[in-house]
Amino acid sequence: MAISITELRQLLTDAFPDASIDVVDLAGDNDHYQASIVSEQFIGKSRIQQHQMVYQSLKGKMGDELHALALKTRTPATN
- In the chain, what are the domain boundaries? 5-74
Task: For domain 5-74, say whether CATH 3.30.300.90 is its number.
Answer: yes
Please report the pLDDT score of residue 29 as a whole number: 84
Cα separation, 44 vs 41, in Å, equals: 8
Cα separation, 73 vs 60, in Å, equals: 19
Please report the pLDDT score of residue 2 as a whole number: 83
Mean pLDDT by 10 residues, the chain (79 residues): 89 96 90 94 96 93 84 84
3-class SS of residue 8: helix
**5 in Cβ contact with 23 (< 8 Å):** yes
